[in-house]
Amino acid sequence: MITVKHLSKTFYNTAIPFTVLRDVNCEIKKGEIISIIGPSGTGKSTFLRCINLLEQPTSGEIFVNGINIMDKKTDLNAIRQKMGMVFQNFNLFSHLSILHNVTIGPIKLLKMPKEDAEKQAMDLLRMVGLAEKANSMPSELSGGQKQRVAIARCLSMKPDVILFDEPTSALDPTMVSEVLSVIRQLAKQGMTMLIVTHEMKFAYDVSTRVFFMNEGIIYEEGTPEEIFEHPQKPLTQAFINRIRTLEYEIKNSDFDLHHMNAEIEQFCQKYALGNDIYNRILHLVEEIPSIMMQDPGAIHLKLDYSEKNYNIYVEFEQDGCTNLILDNPDTDEVALSIIRGCCESIDENIVGNSRKIKAKVKSNKS
């Protein structure tokens, strides 16, 4: 139904040209419900807005029902009539009553008789639970109510597909569920939808397919299980597990230990990891590099903390070393025992010509 090929978008109206989308390719079939997730600023909304050309793509092709919509000859308005859009900020027509908001499209564009349009509007408003507000003005409604009206307005054009651009991001938490339940209802009715969202649980429940966007491309895609349970690629994993990272470079044995410790303390405080864990991490970053320093070569330290399952990993990487040191009988026994006391598990392996040590820090619960 929608096919996107090599879509790219660069904004030139900023001080430095800014590429949001590099190369997006996808194919969306009728009846699919696609959630688009990813960190902020990775072009999710831009991608959605390119599909109905609210943003003009820099290059690439978009086909809707086989029609190239970027062709100048295409009747874009006709395409848009069949492609609804729900905005983050609702964008209800503030000078029109709720009923008029839902009837103006069918009356002016579909040339529907006024009575029919009003009857249909009332049905739609009943569906989203706002029939009694038909004669109110948008300013009298709460955010959640406005968004439900916006969905009804969208449906009034009988679209083939609806694009949701962060439909709940501007709502306070108490109103999110009322909007989501309307979208769930649409999902049951088999409406084709593309939803940019930050509501992970909702995306898991409702979608047939999930796009994880990062670095201007669809970085990983798959069923909700695949993306949320077993993400394959590191950035997807980091995003799904909400991993926070601290990186530090130890250049040689004369490095500034106090500075590193201060950084780690800051990191621990920021994510409220507690004193015990902080101490364990300190032990690890003191003892492991001291062992590794036997060999020359800078050490790259990486501290990962997942806000989803609370796992903390400390990772050390040293280039130019091909021998294992933890199981080496020459290694200091005392240091090793301290290390083992601080972590649940520790692995060492050689990748290429660099040595990697990854330790899972013991958590308070275990």
Site residues (vs other proteins, CB under 8 A) = 52, 54, 77-85, 87, 89, 91-95, 104-105, 108-109, 153-154, 157
- Minimal distance in Å, beta carbon 80 to other proteins? 4
CA angle 191, 195, 199 (to 5 degrees): 120
Name which of 324, 339, 336, 227 is nearest 281 in CA terms. Answer: 339
Closer CB to other proteins, 166 or 317, in the complex: 166
Cα separation, 299 vs 259, whole angstroms: 15
Helical residues (DSSP H) of 234-360, grouped into ranges: 234-240, 257-270, 275-292, 333-342
Closer CB to other proteins, 88 or 306, in the complex: 88
Listing DSSP states for 104-127 in one string gives HHHHHTS---HHHHHHHHHHHHHH
- Minimal distance in Å, beta carbon 341 to other proteins? 58
Residue 187 tokens, joined: 């999902």
Residue 156 tokens, joined: 């009034």
Name which of 328, 318, 326, 322 is nearest 350 in CA terms. Answer: 322
133 DSSP assignment: G
Closer CB to other proteins, 164 or 239, in the complex: 164
Name which of 245, 247, 207 is nearest 227 in CA terms. Answer: 207
Closer CB to other proteins, 104 or 112, in the complex: 104
Name which of 41, 46, 65, 64 is nearest 56 in CA terms. Answer: 46
Closer CB to other proteins, 109 or 238, in the complex: 109
- Minimal distance in Å, beta carbon 241 to other proteins? 35
- Minimal distance in Å, beta carbon 172 to other proteins? 19
- Minimal distance in Å, beta carbon 124 to other proteins? 14
- Minimal distance in Å, beta carbon 9 to other proteins? 16
- Minimal distance in Å, beta carbon 163 to other proteins? 8
Closer CB to other proteins, 56 or 275, in the complex: 56
Residue 29: CB atoms within 10 A of its CB come to 12
Closer CB to other proteins, 77 or 275, in the complex: 77
